[in-house]
Structure 1
Amino acid sequence: MKRKKSRLVIFGVTVLAVLAMVGIFAKDVADNMTLGLDLQGGFEIVYEVAPLVEGGTLPDVSAVVASIRKRIDIIGVNEPDIIVEGDNRIRIQLAGITNQDEARKLISTTANLTFRDVNDKLLADATILEEGGASLAYENGVVVVSLKIKDKTKFKEITLAVSKMTDNTMVTWLDFNPATDKYATEKDKAEPKFISAASVESSISGDAVIKGSFTEIYARQLSNLINSGSLPVKMNELYSNEVSAEFGVDSFKTTALAGAIGVLAVAAFMIFMYALPGILSALMLILYVFIVIFLYNSIGGVYTLPGIAALVMGVGMTVDANILTFERIRDELYLGRSVKKSFIEGHNLSWVTIVDSQSTTFIAAVIMYIFGTGPVKGFSTMLMVTIIITILINVFFVKFVLGLLVSSGYLDDKKTWFKVKLKHIPDVTKGEEQRYFGPFAGFDFVKLAKPFIIGSLIILGLGFASATFNMATGKGAMNLGIDFASGTKITVNSDITLTEAQIIADFEALGLQNFNVQLSGTKMAYVTTTEALSRTKLDDIGETMLEKYGQEVNESVVTPLIGNELVKNAVLASLIAWILMLLFVSLRFEWDYGIATIVALLHDVFIVLSIFAIFRLDVTTELIAVILAIIGYSVDDTIVIFDRVRETLHNLNKPHYSKNDYKKVVNDALSGVVLRSLWNTTTTLIPMVFLLLMGSKAIFTFNFAMFIGLLAGAYSSVFIAAQLWLNIRYNRKPKKEITHKKTKKEELDELTIIGIND
């Protein structure tokens, strides 16, 4: 008795400890979240690195990164993300930056400072200066750049030589190009390329200043460039994405609120459906969110909009593991077993299925991480973290806490606390057999599959017809976003109501042609063009929109080179994911299970693509993340169903099977697991619905695609994968299954007597 009471005490202490830990440290964990540029503003740029001299060799990329990092340090950005891609590309992500134009110039300008005479002869470069010796200064109230000379002897020699020339002018250049730049050509221009041209009357043995028509901002920027040192390469911009700070903060608030409400809705659903286990599941969700955020912070993860969507979607997936276990416990109770025996068997039977199903989603996440960039990488990283935490929490926390209550004996006569009805539980001591097999017992799923398959064929047909029509009219089969088609996307944010006609007139006045305008609500508009606009044009657009509408624009530019590579990587990632799924399912089950799974996956992917073709939604890199996530989710659902099909086939134990036998296997298996599939889909869709209705408009298409994919994956597992397996299995040779002799343990389990051998 004391031992049982002690378990109740441990249960109470554990629950209070979890709540106390989350309550005490939640704020610290939240404060340590590093927000990505789409949540706090900033920009991302991909540069192609080329030698300074055509035909030259590239220096060590690490030296380039070091020089870039030194310049970023001058800007004052915390935790910049600088990623080397391949041999000649560098991706730079700066979140929370206030002056994006200044940062862009500081990063990409070669900043090779030289001193030359009027004949363009090189006299000295920046090595003549002290490190960090350039600074903003004033001379007689005029803004200048002060230079501390390190090699004063050499500087005295060159200034003496210039002072004796007929034209005693020393010209200061930044990034002088011998092929195109000449002092004689530039000197009479209103805005020459050189920084300054000063007369030298005599030798200078001390420090120097650079004079010109400098503003304070330009002089400070120039001194920062000189201090950061010259880049040993040329930087060609291939891709850029800018997000204003106001837009980022708004996106974070709306998406976080939608996610929080979605999590609470899932917790309420679990409590309603499962009573006591549902309450523990709700407690687990609190712990799950806390641990996931803590772990993601610990590995230096950066939160993006898709990453938060992955966190919220993970809520549905982790609850799925609970649903699997709770439904298995119910099944055992309906067999007339004790609470303790049902708890043990429920966990044992669900464990392998949970690991198998979560493994497939993990495979998809790994593929996303390897081939993805930017937000896709953030989504996949978060997805991997959620899967790991899901398995650990379900195994250790829920099992441990519920096990304490069960082993205490307190629940022995409280089977209704598992949301089962006593009238459905047989009394095995009186020889009663199982009499309740769930609400779908006797349901003919095989027969019902036909209208679902017809519905899918109609959607796929409409998608194909829409894609064909649009391709024939020159619009392209799919509405490829700039991620794939290359070009520029500008998000106009406004303090006042926008109209499509107004935005079109604004951009035509700025000289743009062949662009599309799409309104999102009343104060946001997306303007896209297949032209990769120049930095000058983008700055002009940004200034005009800010002046007229009161908010900064967000911009994204993709060059054709990057667009083509994204298409290639997307196709490759999908193919690799399908192959790995086929191998995994074939190894864990048999080849016919694998074929049926892949066909269901193809169905889910093409349903999503058909919806995008019909409604002409933008196809972006985020859609690839959605497709890969759906692949993992759909396989998750299919594996749970096939696990029950295999178990039912094993229990039927016949030497030969007719088609009706296989139909019975499928119908019996689905009747036992379809409720779990329905609840799992519901708990995953609940947070997605809140993200759709309340989340940031920036990821509406992402959330919508996920919503459609989840629906398609839910019914394809039941009405396509299972039905296809039935037909493959019946038509393959031989039609003889391996028979399994029932063990003595299984026979005794059916005759468990409460209070004697439970």
Structure 2
Amino acid sequence: MNKKRLVVFLVSVIAIIGIVGVSAKPAIDNMNLGLDLKGGFEILYEVSPLEGSETKKVDMAAVASSVSKRVNVLGVSEPDITVEGDRIRVQLAGVQDNEQARNVISSSAVLSFRDTSDNLLMDATVLKDGGASLAFNEGKPIVNLKIADTAKFYEVTSALSQTSDKLMVTWLDYQEGQRYAEEATKAETEEGPAYISAAKVSEGLNSETVMISGNFTEEEAQELVDLLNSGSLNFQMKEIYSNVVSPNLGEGSFESTMLAGGIGIVAIAILLIALYRFCGFISALSVAIYLVSTLALYTLLGGVFTLSGIAALVLGVGMAVDSSVITFERIKDSLYAGRSVKNAFKEGSHNSLSTILDSQITTMIAALILYIFGTGSVKGFATMLLISTILAVVFNVTLVRFLLGQVVKSGYLDNKKSWFGIKEDYIPNVQRGETYEDHSPWKNFDFVGKAKYFIAISAAVMVLGIGSMGFNGMKGDGVFNFGIDFSSGTKITLESKGGLKADTLQKEFEKLGVEPSDITLSGKNNEIASVSIKKAITEEQREQISDYMTDTYKEIEVSDSTVSPIVGRELVKNAIIMSLLSWLAILIYVSIRFKWDFAVSGIVALIHDVFVILAVFAITRMEVTTDVIAVLLTIIGYSINDSIVIFDRMRENLKGFTRKQPSQEQLRDIVNVSLRETFGRSVVTASTTILPVIALLVFGSRNIFQFNVALLVGLVGGCVSSLFIAPQLWYVLRLKFKVKNKPKKKQKKLKGPQERIIPGVND
């Protein structure tokens, strides 16, 4: 026995436990939380040149710079400003006053001086850049402006002093159609005039500094100073989407999601140890350090953690485990074939590598397309999925195999085959000429013959879904219950310590002339309500609702989000484009690695999985949001993961037929045997991915309930399609088109029996 390898193993395990123990809390504490976990404000603008401008294209880098200066006025730490073509997305986690943020960011900050007939006297070109400052006059806050062109300022004010009213009106972002005469009547009202001030000019002003005195509070005066110093915008920004998340709602979502994720991961660890004993323990260790590493790397790259991003992380755990399970099952196959522990480890590691890479690369392809073409939370979800997938492969190929290899090569496990989760009584005695006898409950199951029943169930779900889509469309309710992300509209969030009731809120909104399409309550005492309205309400309605709710309820907070129809249409279009690109990329990859009939079978299975999710949402009328689209695209990458593993075994079982086409019976046996050999693994990997999703459904935030339902339906549908649709379709295609096999590659010979006996094929 090589004790040095055992020492290396023990030291490595202690080091991993130490690293995880020391790094876990800092990794969690340093997570850069997104809006849905921290609370805050998100707004998307469409940027275009100013009317009458000769410039046809806006410099978006300059836009981002200008917006960044505006955000600094708000004092928000770590803002996220992203350019998306001719749009700019601003995410301000932790911002307290979303209305202030909206006004500060979008305000053009163009100062102009006009007479009472609204004729332009001077614009901001007479002022010094960055020359605004806060001052006080008789205890009242004022704004001082430094004059750049004192001669022009003197000339204009001298002429104005000769007029009858002698008034110079100062406007910020004057709009065509605004009138001084109309606004002056509001001076004594609570609303106040749209102009900043109207000062009497008795003589020409030849000073380098002028004073603007309005009915300012100190905060309003300082905000005006900051706005003017940040510079005016030489472009216009149209708001097409906004989203507000209450800090309390975000905090509760984060806690519940982390709890659910932790429960799911512990459940995975228990399952792995129960099934694979010592190997399961090593896999659980790798999952722990994988999680810490993923959190640290994502934070280092400046990633923002969202609810769907954390769900992608939990999904990544399933993929990390999937890679380990493929290796462990291959080792078990070799042990049952009579190999020694060392040869079984070597053979299992070798045979599983290409399968792992093929299955994970398809997920990476889908994640990469999501990242390139996605925006907002979809892009964040894709980033996390991409990092998770890469690290899942790295930790399986390196850490798990290194740790297991040290113990195997030490010789400690030579007579402990049960430590791999197998029953030693089932291992054949090679010296006596015994071969392995399958003891699994599905050893005689005819997958090809019974597939029609599972296909019938899937077909029934899809037919019911298509029927529901048609019925919903005929009723005028829409084929799907699209959230405001797609259909456009407004979402209002109400938060009251006294608790809220959906039916009462419904009546109160109807009194205000607004008809909610959905009201969702959350929180321990239903203190938070999310009200969806399938149309974008006006600013006046928004203020009316806020005033009414503030008067009706004690200590209530009201925030709102809006989406324009443009954004909804583009989300649908982008989802279709991303789906088609993912299918095409996977089709090409699988055709290169396998054969076209494998690729077509896999794509049909993927389309099935997507349609099953859509059918369930059409039948249940659950809300379809952007996160649900992210799930559809994730399933495209993840679902074929399982199909690839089965395809790999089918390809292996086909290697004996390089010059002739197998008969129909032989092809049927190849499919059945391949499925019997991989069925247990498929169930285990599906379980390790479904477990955390179930935990997220039961214990996680209600804000991503639809997301988790879609993920669960997709994973179950993906498992079914991998076992009962893709292989059977391949069987039909191979029979019809007589596809030739790829040449058999030479394999490294190992000690022990080499031939795999496939009943009906090798007989």
Q: TM-score range by the shorter chain?
A: over 0.9
Counterparts in 2 of 1:435 and 1:652: CA distance versus 1, 3 Å:
farther
Decide which of 719, 726, 729 is 1:724's aligned counterpart.
729
Q: Residues 28, 546 of structure 1: CA spacing in aligned structure 2 closer, same or farther, 3 A cutoff?
A: farther
The amino acid of 2:600's aligned partner reads: I
Query: What secondary structure, in the 3-state scheme, does the structure 2 residue paired with 1:650 have?
Result: coil
Deviates more, 1:157-166 or 1:604-613: 157-166
Match of 2:165 in 1: 167
| Conserved? CA contact 1:173–1:194, under 8 Å | yes
Shift of residue 181, structure 1, vs aligned partner: 3.3
Q: Which runs of 5+ in 1 are unaligned?
A: 753-758
| Residue 597 (structure 1) shift | 0.8
Query: For residue 485 of structure 2, what is the aligned residue in structure 1?
Result: 483
SS in 1 for 2:312: helix
Q: 1:526 Cα deviation (Å)? A: 3.4
Q: Distance in 1 between matches of 2:254 and 2:741?
A: 55
**8 Å CA contact 2:601, 2:727 repeated in 1:** yes
Q: Is 2:536 the partner of 1:532?
A: yes
Match of 2:761 in 1: none
Displacement of 1:518 after TM fit? Answer: 4.5
The question of 1:559 aligning with 2:564 is answered: yes
Q: How big is the shift at 1:436?
A: 3.8
1:111 is aligned to 109
Does the 8 Å contact 1:102/1:221 carry over to 2? no
Instruction: Kindly indicate whether residue 630 of structure 2 is the aligned counterpart of residue 625 of structure 1.
Output: yes
1:75/1:525 Cα in 2 relative to 1: closer, same or farther (>3 Å)? closer
- What percent of counterpart residues are identical? 49
CA contact (8 A) 2:516 2:531 kept: no
**Cross-structure match for 1:282:** 284
Does residue 583 (structure 1) correspond to residue 588 (structure 2)? The answer is: yes
2: CA distance, partners of 1:459 / 1:554: 39
| 1:252 aligned residue | 254
Aligned to 2:735, the other structure's residue is in SS state: helix
- Alignment partners' CA distance in 2, 1:152 and 1:741: 86
- What's 2:356 paired with? 354
Q: Could you tell me which residue of structure 2 aligns to residue 198 of structure 1?
A: 199
**Quick one: distance in 2 between partners of 1:545 and 1:679?**
51
State whether structure 2 residue 679 is matched by structure 1 residue 680: no
C-alpha distance in 2, partners of 1:255/1:361? 23
Hey, what's the Cα distance between the residues in 2 that align with 1:154 and 1:186?
27
Secondary structure of 2:623's partner?
coil
Q: Decide whether the 8 Å contact of 2:109 with 2:228 is kept in 1.
A: yes
Q: For residues 188-207 of structure 1, what are the alpha-carbon distances to aligned partners after superposition, in whole Å with 9 as ceiling and x for unaligned?
A: 44433221111123335253
State the secondary structure of the residue aligned to 1:98.
Answer: coil
Structure 2: distance between partners of 1:84 and 1:597:
36
C-alpha deviation, 1:132, in angstroms: 3.6
**1:698 maps to which residue?**
703
- List per-residue Cα deviations over 1:110-144 (Å, max 9, x = no partner): 11012233454444333444444334433223332
Give the Cα separation in 1 of the matches to 2:702 and 2:748: 60
Q: Partner residue of 1:573?
A: 578
Q: Does 1:637 align with 2:634?
A: no
Relative distance call for 1:264 and 1:724 in structure 2 (3 A) is same
Matched, 1:609 2:606: no
Partner AA of 2:378 in structure 1: V
Deviations for 1:425-482, whole angstroms, at most 9, x for unmatched residues?
1222343322346443232112221221111121112111111111111111111221
For the residues of structure 1 that align with 2:166 and 2:152, how far apart are their CA atoms?
17
Picking from 178, 183, 189, the partner of 1:181 is 178
Q: What amino acid is aligned across from residue 294 of structure 1 in structure 2?
A: A
- Provide the rounded CA distance (Å) in 2 between the counterparts of 1:653 and 1:426: 30
Q: Which moved more, 1:162-171 or 1:564-573?
A: 162-171
| Deviates most, 550-559 or 562-571 | 550-559
> 2:347 matched to which residue of 1?
345
Inter-partner Cα distance in structure 1 for 2:494 and 2:694: 26
| Partner in structure 2 of residue 76 of structure 1 | 75
In 1: Cα distance, 2:754 partner to 2:495 partner = 66
Contact persistence 1:174–1:195 (CA under 8 A): yes
Partner of 1:20: 18
- The Cα of 1:151 is off from its aligned counterpart by 4.9
**CA apart distance, 1:731:** 2.1
- How far is the alpha carbon of 1:182 from its aligned partner? 4.0
Please tell me whether residue 668 in structure 1 is matched to residue 673 in structure 2: yes
Residues 719, 494 of structure 1: alpha-carbon distance in 2 compared, 3 angstrom cutoff: farther
Equivalent position SS for 1:311:
helix
**8 Å Cα contact 1:46-1:239 kept in structure 2:** yes
Tell me how far 1:742 sits from its aligned partner.
8.1
Residue 512 of structure 1: how far off its partner (Å): 1.1
Given that 1:586 and 1:593 are in contact with CA atoms closer than 8 Å, whether structure 2 keeps it comes out as: yes
Q: Is the 8 A contact 1:153 1:205 kept in 2?
A: no
Per mean C-alpha deviation after superposition, the further-off stretch among 576-585 and 355-364 is 576-585
Preserved CA contact (<8 Å) 1:126 1:226: no
Separation in structure 1 between the aligned mates of residue 273 and residue 109 of structure 2, nearest angstrom: 63
Deviation at 1:703, TM superposition (A): 0.5
Residue correspondence of structure 1 range 286-685 to structure 2 within 5 A = 286-436=288-438, 438-513=440-515, 515-519=517-521, 522-545=526-549, 548=553, 550-651=555-656, 655-685=660-690
What do the CA deviations read for 1:604-641 (whole angstroms, capped 9, x no partner)? 11111110010001112211111111111111010000
* Structure 2 counterpart SS, 1:173: strand
1:514 shift after superposition: 6.3
- In the TM superposition, residue 682 of structure 1 has moved relative to its aligned partner by 0.3
Deviates more, 1:427-436 or 1:322-331: 427-436
C-alpha change, 1:493 and 1:722, in structure 2 (3 Å) is farther
Aligned counterpart, 1:756: none
Structure 1 Cα separation of the partners of residues 240 and 167 of structure 2? 39
Q: 1:546 to 1:186 in 2, by over 3 A?
A: closer
Secondary structure of the residue that 1:552 maps to in structure 2?
Answer: strand
SS in 1 for 2:494: strand
Mind listing any 5+ residue stretches in structure 2 that lack a counterpart? 757-763
> How much does 1:594 deviate?
1.2
SS of residue in 1 equivalent to 2:265: helix
Q: Does the 8 Å CA contact 1:172/1:197 hold for their aligned counterparts? A: yes
For 1:139, the aligned partner's letter is: N
**What amino acid sits opposite 1:561 in the alignment?**
I
The one-letter code sitting in structure 1 at the alignment partner of 2:298 is Y
Question: Which of 750, 754, 757 is equivalent to 1:750?
Answer: 754
Question: Residue 174 of structure 2 aligns to which amino acid in structure 1?
Answer: F
Structure 2 CA distance for partners of 1:69 and 1:406, relative to 1, 3 Å: same
Are the counterparts in 1 of residues 462 and 615 from structure 2 also a CA contact under 8 Å?
yes
Paired with 1:54 and 1:105, the residues of 2 have a C-alpha distance of: 23
Deviations 1:48-106 (Å, cap 9, x if unpaired)?
123222464244222222111111111111222222222x3211111111121111100
Task: Tell me how far apart the structure 2 counterparts of residues 631 and 502 of structure 1 sit (CA, whole Å).
Answer: 42
What is the aligned residue count? 747
Q: Distance in 2 between matches of 1:462 and 1:664?
A: 34
Contact 1:446–1:723 (8 Å) recurs in 2: yes
The alignment partner of 2:160 has SS state of: helix
Look up the equivalent residue of 1:423 and give its one-letter code: D
Q: d(CA) in 1 for partners of 2:550 and 2:275?
A: 51
Q: Render the CA deviation track for 1:125-166: whole Å, top value 9, x for unaligned.
A: 334444443344332233322334455555444434433433
Structure 1 counterpart of 2:760: none
Q: Shift in Å at residue 318 of structure 1?
A: 0.6
Distance 1:119 1:743 in 2: 91
Contact preservation (8 Å) 1:196, 1:212: yes
Residues 733 and 404 of structure 1, relative CA distance in 2, 3 Å threshold:
closer
Contact 2:338 2:753 in 1 (8 A): no
Q: How far 1:353 moved relative to its partner?
A: 0.4
Structure 1 residues 687 and 516: CA distance shift in structure 2, 3 A:
closer
Amino acid of the structure 2 residue aligned with 1:594: A
Task: Say what the alpha-carbon RMSD is for the aligned residues.
Answer: 2.3
Q: 1:55 to 1:154 in 2, by over 3 A?
A: closer
Kept in 2, the 8 Å contact 1:334–1:437? The answer is no
1:553 CA drift (Å): 4.1
